[in-house]
Amino acid sequence: MNFTVTSTRQTKALKVVVYGPEGIGKTTFANNFPQPIYIDTEGSTNFIDSQKLPDPTSWTMLLEELEYLKSTSGIARTIVIDTMDWAENLAKQHLMAKNNWDAIDASSYGTRYVALADEIGKLLNKLSELVELNYNVVLLAHSETKKHELPDELGAFDRYVLKLERRDASLVKEWADMILFANFKTTVITDSKTNSKKATGGQRVMYTTHKPTWDAKNRLGLADELPFDYEQIRVQLEQAMPQAEPVQQPVQAAVQPAPSQIQPQQVPPVQQEQVPLPEEPPQQQEVQMAPPENLPAPEYTEEISAAIPQDVADLMRMSQLSTKDVMKLIYNAGFMPEGTPTENVPQDLWAYLVSKWDEALKFLNN
């Protein structure tokens, strides 16, 4: 068997995690990466000049937006998820609705945390696929302090950590090429006469290497501490990044991200002759987000009932479904008697549909 020997040093898109307290400027910092596009899970991009995909209102929608980027080229070079801890909340809501759980906790010997880590793993795998297509990925996250105790030492101390569940934080840290911890640098001065203490300073700095009190790492030889300014690391980052534009994934080109679960079910033409004609042709003909410049506002002419929750409405727009389509699904699946008004559909049923959106689409198209 023959093998090809290659160099270990390669130019590759970067996987970066930036975390720190609220208000430190993480969103603005990420906006300096090459041609960024935001996936805003917390509504924090209103005060910067950039571009973004529609704000995801469900875990399913977030994953679909990543699928869209895999089949699209030319609109961005860096994908920014702002923030990862809010994205984790979407994953929690998804699992609770899907499994009828009240919370993600240690019940059933911690299997709920394992299920959550599996969902975060799916997200990271999709992001890794985008990295292979030359997209840089930046995950923003908040920080929090937790007590930490070393196994070979007595006593505990506070340290800054990602504001994620323990398993999820470990996955994210292992996945990243670079972890930058941003914080306000504060110096405590003690008055020798009164023994009173006063905090001074407050300049914004970023730490690039691991310390007992925070997690950080880099593979570019950055200084341990730098001002929290992208210009401080621009040269090193851009030398490590590929200069080529992200490439479109061939196998996804014909599928398109938003309706990817729907189109394979479009083969039988029988349904297209049935009465609710508006539900089928848009799925087959109007592939959402055709021109890149229209991506934040895909064409959608159906009027969605105000009784339908926002997360369901967003998925309906992505999948080109009308209120009539969704109510037909609810009736045919036996969730509610036929003729039940949209206003009478319970909230937990809407949440269940969001968590099972792929299966719901397949059922609707069969």
Report pLDDT for 48. 93
Closest CA to 257 of 66, 57, 53: 66
Helices 347-355 and 59-70: angle between axes, nearest 10 degrees: 30
Q: Is the pLDDT of residue 321 over 90?
A: no
Report pLDDT for 249. 66
Cβ neighbours for 239, distance < 8 A, ≥ 6 positions apart: none
Segment 229-245 mean pLDDT: 89
Cβ neighbours for 141, distance < 8 A, ≥ 6 positions apart: 17, 18, 19, 83, 84, 85, 162, 163, 164, 172
Query: Residue 285 — pLDDT band, cuts 50, 70, 90?
Result: very low
Task: Quote the distance between the C-alpha of residue 325 and its chain's center.
Answer: 28
Cα–Cα distance, 251 to 255 (Å, whole number):
8
Report pLDDT for 250. 60
Taking every pair of Cα atoms in the chain, the longest distance, rounded to a whole number of angstroms, is 89
Cα–Cα distance, 351 to 117 (Å, whole number):
20
Report pLDDT for 252. 43
Segment 216-238 mean pLDDT: 94
Cα–Cα distance, 105 to 96 (Å, whole number):
11
Q: Is the pLDDT of residue 264 over 60?
A: no
Report pLDDT for 242. 82
Q: Are the C-beta atoms of residues 39 and 82 closer than 8 Å to each other?
A: yes
Please give the mean pLDDT across all residues of the chain.
Answer: 83
Q: Are the C-beta atoms of residues 79 and 37 closer than 8 Å to each other?
A: yes
Segment 166-178 mean pLDDT: 96
Q: Is the pLDDT of residue 279 over 60?
A: no
Assess whether the previous peptide bond of 57 is cis (omega < 30° from 0).
Answer: no
More confident residue, 316 or 163: 163
How far, CA to CA in Å, does 122 sit from each of 101, 209, 312?
20, 27, 21
Q: Is the pLDDT of residue 15 over 50?
A: yes
Q: Is the pLDDT of residue 253 over 70?
A: no
More confident residue, 283 or 115: 115
Report pLDDT for 255. 41
Cα–Cα distance, 138 to 38 (Å, whole number):
9
Segment 263-269 mean pLDDT: 39
Q: Is the pLDDT of residue 294 over 50?
A: no
Segment 98-128, tens digit of pLDDT: 998 999 987 878 899 999 999 999 999 999 9
Cβ neighbours for 61, distance < 8 A, ≥ 6 positions apart: 54, 311, 314, 315, 318
Task: Quote the distance between the C-alpha of residue 239 and its chain's center.
Answer: 26
Query: Residue 359 — pLDDT band, cuts 50, 70, 90?
Result: confident
Domains and CATH numbers, the chain: 15-240 (3.40.50), 258-365 (no CATH)
Query: Residue 299 — pLDDT band, cuts 50, 70, 90?
Result: low
More confident residue, 62 or 333: 62
Report pLDDT for 193. 73
Q: How far apart are the first and last CA of the chain?
A: 48
Give percent of the chain above pLDDT 70. 84
- Using left for φ > 0, alpha for ψ between -120 and 50, and beta otherwise, residue 243 falls in alpha
Structure tokens at 109: 């010997």
Cα–Cα distance, 314 to 326 (Å, whole number):
13
Segment 23-51 mean pLDDT: 95
Among 137-151, 191-205, 244-258, 272-286, the range with the most confident prediction by mean pLDDT is: 137-151
Q: Is the pLDDT of residue 292 over 50?
A: no
What's the chain's Rg over C-alpha atoms? 24
Report pLDDT for 270. 35
Cα–Cα distance, 192 to 199 (Å, whole number):
15
